Structure 1
């Protein structure tokens, strides 16, 4: 006799995470490997399997949730990179019956449990630090501006620059090394280019640090660099990169705790994770005095 299949309630125990990223980029981006480490450790301690799906675009991500719902094996999902405008994933996971937690500001995922990290105060710290070094022109190499957290960081960056009485320029990139270098090229082509840059991740900052000296631009003598999120990559770059450091493994643990509570029908509406802290290393210093700035050559090979 063929045994009857187990009821869906017995099978539906896994927690899923869909990452909309090129697989190659995930291999060098420390943030998600650290985040998943903390998330999976917390889930494993409570007997919850972890399922990861990497997809190229939003349509494939939406399809992944539908397939998980059809399989009856995934009970909850963690949502990342919430979109600035209407994010269809938020309503979809509700319709599919998943417990859900978003890594987002509470206003960007209304009526959903969120794990939130304040970016406004750390951005003010970063910009104020550069101002106090003597920089009056700062640039930001941002991630994709479709993401809500990118918009919030950019708003905080521009507000902090205004408070500090310094000029600010922003260029959007895609979190990749090549994209970051291209954004730096555009910033340095400005009529009055910045003397310090704040990057949205470690990969873009490290790529710029590697490309700049070969083009005759000294780091930090000609251009100071500050990364968002510390990593081994930041510490192994020459010079080592100043960074806004946070415990990303602990952030994953917070997300794990939040989704476990949601699965237990006791959701915590807002879980606040510790904000990034400034770590000063060799990639930031005072700018050259006026009249002594070197001519900036193209970063393109």
Structure 2
């Protein structure tokens, strides 16, 4: 008998969950498909990985959910094995090679970051900073290694600083980068919230965007188009990602064998926050 729920656990501070538009848009896309079969998303917000694993165990013991959507796939992720042991069907939001076998829906982060890097290097930037999400996330590692690889081929060494997707981290890291003795000419952020916070810091410091500093966001929520200047960003159809994951959940519950879904395409949307670096940068 169906519980009517598909679980999703978000491991982050409640502040991050409250300000980040990505997951609400993702859930909206997933529910658009899941509701066709009478299902909805049950969201739990926890503080760390141990609490997330404990939540899955409680859900399994109580029969709370029909399936789980595993977000932010980790390097050496323990969750697929636990869910298989608990007998809870699951779909990974992100690349997963197994074992155990698990259907997955993902964006091509390597191709996306390669496009960003080629664009910025083509503009002439040689001092590039990258403000990432948590380093334990597989997509963070893929973006970092891709940026390093593309830049290395041009003799450029980017600076990487780990963030947590929050506005506070975006502001704090940006302030440190811009007040350094050798500030970057461009900063790439792994989500829009950190990018918007970074833009505000640049404006507070009297640094003109894009004349003196270029900024690039990621995911392309409405935030990016409401700033002044509008932010150049990597555009990902998050709603489509949610729909594809919802469809993969329904297929899994119907007994389909695990199989990867189509990769969600991403494209670079060039707006007013990027330009050639200022002379001497």
Question: How high is the TM-score relative to the length of structure 2?
Answer: 0.94
What corresponds to 2:193 in structure 1? Answer: 203
Shift of 1:110: 5.4
1:167-211 superposed Cα distances (whole Å, 9 cap, x missing partner):
311111111111112222343355543201110000000001011
Q: Does 1:246 align with 2:207?
A: no
Q: Deviations for 1:109-168, whole angstroms, at most 9, x for unmatched residues?
A: 752111121111111111111111111121111111011111111011111112344331
Query: For the residues of structure 1 that align with 2:120 and 2:279, how far apart are their CA atoms?
Result: 15
| 2:79 equivalent in structure 1 | 89
Q: Within 5 A, what are the aligned runs for 1:99-248? A: 99-107=89-97, 111-188=101-178, 192-248=182-238
Q: Counterpart of 2:207 in 1: which secondary structure?
A: coil
Q: Quote the offset at 1:43 in angstroms.
A: 0.4
Aligned pairs for 1:10-89 (under 5 A) are 10-84=1-75, 86-89=76-79
The number of equivalent residue pairs is 281
Distance 2:99 2:176 in 1: 33
Provide the residue aligned with 2:264 in structure 1.
274
- The answer as to whether partners of 2:234 and 2:268 remain within 8 angstroms in 1 is yes
Post-superposition shift, 1:11?
Answer: 4.0
Would you say the 8 A contact 2:19–2:166 is kept in 1?
no
Distance of aligned partners of 1:68 and 1:173 in 2 relative to their CA distance in 1, 3 Å threshold: same
Q: CA deviation at 1:273?
A: 2.8
Shift of 1:21: 1.9
My pick for the range that moved more, 182-191 or 207-216, is 182-191
Structure 2 SS opposite 1:285: coil
SS at match of 2:261: strand
Q: Which is bigger in relative contact order (C-alpha 8 A, separation at least 6)?
A: 2
Report if aligned partners of 1:226, 1:242 keep a CA contact under 8 Å in 2: yes
Counterpart CA distance in 2 for 1:288 and 1:109 is 49
Q: Which residue of 2 aligns with 1:6?
A: none
Is contact 2:127–2:186 with CA below 8 Å preserved after alignment? yes
Tell me, in whole angstroms, the C-alpha distance in 2 between the residues paired with 1:105 and 1:173: 21
Shift of 1:70: 1.7
Gaps of at least 5 residues in structure 2 are none
Distance 1:264 1:11, change over 3 A: closer
C-alpha contact (below 8 Å) 2:73/2:96 kept by paired residues: no
